[in-house]
Chains A and B, each alone.
Chain A
C-alpha cells in the first residue's frame, strides 16, 4: 500500500511520548496564530499591494507634489508633512477596515470561521492575530510613507514627534479594527467588500485624508465633525501642526485631545457592540 494512502486515527495507547506535545497555555497559542496570520498574509499579493503599497503610492502621487519646503500653512507648518500624516491615517484605517472587514468576511464566506468554531481555537486568539496583523501592517505603512517623506518629501520631524505620531496612528488602526469587525459580522460575506468600500471611501474623503477639508465647501466640514475618522485625523495632525494651522487645514478649530479621543473611542465602543451582537447572531445561526 502506498504511504500516501495509509490513514490512521490518533490513539493515546499507540502514540508514543515522542509524538506528543503538551501545550503551554494561551500565549503559545496566540503566538502560533499570529505567526500563521502574518505568514499567510504575506503570501497574498493583494494584501502587500493593496494594503501596504497603495497608501505609499498615493502619497507619492499627491503628497510629494506638495513637498516644496516653501509650501507652508500660515503658521509655518509644512504642507507635505500634513499630507504625510493624512496618508498615514488613510493607510491604517484602510488596513483596519479591510483586514478585519474584508478578510474576516471572506473567511466566514469560505467557512473557515465556522470550521474554527468546531475546534478549541478561541475567537479571541483569531481576532488577536488579526489585530497583530493590523499592527504590523500599520508599521509597514507608516515606515514606507515616512521613508518617502524623509527622502523625497522634505519632511523633517524630531524623534519625539515621529514616535508620538507613529503611536497615535497605530493606536488608531487598532481602534478602527472594531469597525472592520462590525462590517465582517454584520454583513453577508459577499457584500462585505462593497460595504467596506462604501463606508471607507466617504469616511476618508470627508475626513480630509485625500484633500484638506479647508479647501472644500464648508458643508463637508459640517458633516466631518460627526465622523470618527475626522477626529482621528485631528489627533494625528496635532502632532505636527499648531491649532491655527490645523484649523486652516481642516476648516474646523481643533477641540482638544480629550474631545477628539472621546469621539474616536465612543465610536469604537459602538462598533464593538455591533460586532459582538452580529458575531453572537452568527454563532447562534451557526451557518458561517
Chain B
C-alpha cells in the first residue's frame, strides 16, 4: 500500500521553482530520508505532503486522500514551526491530542520525549531543544500512520539521537511510515531504507543508501603522508584528493582522503617515491561521497519509476 504518492509535483513561487516535477511513492512501513542542501526543496516537499502548500503542477496523495485530507493519520514536525508563547507544554500537547480520534495521554507522551519536568512551563521559556521535543510530542501524540519529521534531531545531542532513532526504527516495524529530512548523512545512512536526494527542487536520486553508495566506484584511502596532494592527484587511477582538516602537519605529514579505483593506485606510488605513510585505512564510499558524485553534472539522475514500491 502506498502512503505517499507524488506524481510530477511542482511548486513555484512566482519565478522561483521550489519543487520541480517530483515523482515518488512511499510505501507503508518505509523509513525514507530526504536529503539535500539548504534550499533544495526538502521543507517544501514536506509542506506538500502535510497539505500546507498546494502543488502548482502535478498531483499528490497521502494515505489515499488529497494532502490535508488525512491529517487525522499524519503527525508532522516542521522546521521553524511556530508555537504560542503563553500556553503551557501540557496544555498544548493535550490540545493537539484532542484533535486525533485516539491519542496517547499527555503524561505518556511527555514522558516519552522527556518533558515531564517541564509540563507546567509556558512555551515561551523553553530552550531550543525543549521546543524541538515539544514539537515531536505534538507529532507523535496521535499515533499517526505517517510521521513527517523535518530535521527532527537538529537540537539533540548524540546520545539523544541514538535513542530517538532506535525507537523510531522499532516503531515503524508495525506499519507506520516515516519520512524525515536531515543534514546528517551518517544518520540517514544508518536509519533510512531509502533516500530521496533533492537539488534545486529536483529529485536527483531515489534509492536505498547502499545502492547510492555502489554508484561511487573504487575505494577511499585515508592516511597521513608528507606527499603533496597535488602530486598524489596526478597519479594514474586517482579520482580525487582532499586534505583532511585534522590540524597542522605532524612532522611534515598531513591527512589526505584519496578516492581511487583501487588502493594500490595510492599505496604503490607512495612507497616507490619514498613518502611517509601513517594511519592508513581503506574504506568504501559513504553516502556523502555518493551525494558528491550525484552533484556532478555528468551523472544522470537515479530515480525510480513511479509506483515502484517494495
Residues of B within 8 Å of A114, CB to CB, are: 52, 78, 81-82
Residues of B within 8 Å of A40, CB to CB, are: 84, 86-88, 91, 122
Smallest Cβ distance from A108 to chain B, in angstroms?
Answer: 9
Contact of A5 among B87, B157, B170 (CB under 8 A): B157
Residues of B within 8 Å of A258, CB to CB, are: none
Q: Does A74 contact B (CB under 8 A)?
A: no
Categorize the interface residue count of chain A. Answer: 35 or more
In the assembly, what is the distance between CA of A208 and CA of B147, in Å? Answer: 55
CB atoms of B83 and A115 under 8 A apart: yes
CB atoms of A5 and B91 under 8 A apart: no
When each residue 270-287 of chain A gets 1 if its CB lies under 8 Å from chain B and 0 otherwise, what string results?
000000000000001010
Interface residue total, chain B, C-beta cutoff 8 A: 63
CB atoms of B76 and A19 under 8 A apart: no
Q: Which of A10-18, A76-84, A177-185 contacts B (4 or more CB under 8 A)?
A: A10-18
Q: Does B140 contact A (CB under 8 A)?
A: yes
CB atoms of A112 and B54 under 8 A apart: no
CB atoms of B96 and A7 under 8 A apart: no
CB atoms of B174 and A122 under 8 A apart: no
Residues of B within 8 Å of A12, CB to CB, are: 143, 174, 176
Using known A-B contacts A20-B103, A43-B86, determine if residue A7 contacts B164 with beta carbons closer than 8 Å.
Answer: yes
CB atoms of A7 and B163 under 8 A apart: yes
Residues of B within 8 Å of A119, CB to CB, are: 71, 76, 96, 99, 138
Smallest Cβ distance from A88 to chain B, in angstroms?
Answer: 27
Using known A-B contacts A7-B133, A19-B105, A115-B83, determine if residue A29 contacts B159 with beta carbons closer than 8 Å.
Answer: no
Contact of A7 among B83, B99, B103, B160 (CB under 8 A): B160
CB atoms of B163 and A6 under 8 A apart: yes
Residues of A within 8 Å of B75, CB to CB, are: 10
Residues of B within 8 Å of A111, CB to CB, are: 80-83
In the assembly, what is the distance between CA of A58 and CA of B81, in Å? Answer: 39
When each residue 111-140 of chain A gets 1 if its CB lies under 8 Å from chain B and 0 otherwise, what string results?
111110111111001000000000000000
Using known A-B contacts A20-B104, A21-B105, A114-B52, determine if residue A10 contacts B141 with beta carbons closer than 8 Å.
Answer: yes
CB atoms of B76 and A36 under 8 A apart: no
Smallest Cβ distance from A220 to chain B, in angstroms?
Answer: 39
CB atoms of B82 and A3 under 8 A apart: no
Residues of A within 8 Å of B105, CB to CB, are: 18-21
Residues of B within 8 Å of A286, CB to CB, are: 47, 52-54
Query: Of all chain A residues, which has the CB nearest B83?
Result: A112
Smallest Cβ distance from A287 to chain B, in angstroms?
Answer: 8
In the assembly, what is the distance between CA of A254 and CA of B117, in Å? Answer: 60
When each residue 78-114 of chain B gets 1 if its CB lies under 8 Å from chain A and 0 otherwise, what string results?
1011111111100110111111111111001100111
Residues of B within 8 Å of A5, CB to CB, are: 114, 156-157, 159-160, 163
Q: Does B29 contact A (CB under 8 A)?
A: no
Residues of A within 8 Å of B94, CB to CB, are: 32, 36
List the interface of chain A (C-beta within 8 A of B): 1, 3-15, 18-23, 28-29, 32-33, 35-36, 39-41, 43-44, 107, 109-115, 117-122, 125, 284, 286
List the interface of chain B (C-beta within 8 A of A): 47, 50-54, 68, 71-72, 75-76, 78, 80-88, 91-92, 94-105, 108-109, 112-114, 117, 122, 133, 136, 138, 140-144, 147, 156-157, 159-160, 163-164, 167-168, 170-171, 174, 176
